[in-house]
Amino acid sequence: KELWRLGTPDKTAGEYRHGFAPDPKKPLHPEEYRIYWGYHDFPTDFPNGVNYTVGKSDVSKDWNYVHWSVFGPSYTRTAAVSANMNNWTINFEHASQIEADSSGTLTIQLAAAKSSSGNTDVPSGSLSNFTLQAFINDQGPLNFDVLWYQSSNCAVRSGISCYNIAKKLAFPGSWLKGGWNKVVLSLPFNKNAVYVQYDALRMELN
C-alpha cells in the first residue's frame, strides 16, 4: 500500500522549486534551473531548512531542486552556509495503528548526485563515495550509497537530470506509528563536495 509519494518519477528534478518554472524576471523567461545556481539563494528561500508536510506542502515551492550539504560561496553570497542545510524533513500522518508484522519500503529516485569525483569518472577526493541516509522517526539509518562512477556535476552546470540512481530501502513497519511520522534525509554535514537532486520519493507499507 502506498502511503505517500513526493514528486513525479520522470527522471528530473523539474517539478521542484527552481526547476522547470519560468523566471519572470528574465527577458525570455527561461526555466529557472538553467540560470546560474547561485542566483537561487537557498538560505533565503529556506531559512529554516526544508520541512515538507505531505498533503499540505507544495513541491513547487516547499521542496528545492537541489539538496545541498553546503550552499555557496557564490557571487551573491561571499561565505558558505551549512546551517539548516544537510537534513531535510518529510512529515506525514498515518491514520491507523501499524500491524506488528508489517514491513515498509522507502524508495528514493535521484535525478542526479554529486560526489567529490564530480564529472571525472575516476575516484578522487575524500568523498568520491558518500551516503545519503534516511531516518524514520529517529530509527535507522537506511543507507543509500552513491558511488564515484555515479557522480555528476549536474546542478552547478545548470542541469536538472544527469546520472539517475534509485534504491528501495526496506524497514520494519514497527518504525511507523499511528498519527504523525517523519522522515529525515541526511547528507554528510558541511561537505561542499556533495549534493543530490531528487526525482521522486515514495513510501509503502505491506
Find residue 132's DSSP bridge partners: 144
What integer pLDDT is reported at residue 205 of this predicted model? 96
Domain annotation for the chain: domains and CATH numbers: 2-205 (2.60.120.260)
101-154 pLDDT per residue, tens: 899 999 999 999 999 999 998 999 999 999 999 999 999 999 999 999 999 999
- Cβ atoms of 100 and 47 within 8 Å: the answer is no
pLDDT over 90 at 95, yes or no = no
What integer pLDDT is reported at residue 98 of this predicted model? 84
Which of 54-85 are b and which e, b meaning 16 or more Cβ less than 10 Å from the residue's Cβ?
beebebeebbbbbbbbbbbeeeeeeeebbebb
Nine-digit cell at 65? 531542486
What integer pLDDT is reported at residue 22 of this predicted model? 97
25-67 pLDDT per residue, tens: 999 999 999 999 999 999 999 999 999 999 999 999 999 999 9
pLDDT over 90 at 76, yes or no = no
Nine-digit cell at 139? 530509527
Q: How does the average pLDDT of the chain come out, rounded?
A: 96
What integer pLDDT is reported at residue 152 of this predicted model? 96
For the chain, how far is it from start to end, CA to CA, in angstroms? 6
What integer pLDDT is reported at residue 54 of this predicted model? 98
159-206 pLDDT per residue, tens: 999 999 999 999 999 999 999 999 999 999 999 999 999 999 999 999
188: preceding bond cis by omega (within 30 degrees)? no
User: What number is the average pLDDT over the span 9-14?
Assistant: 98
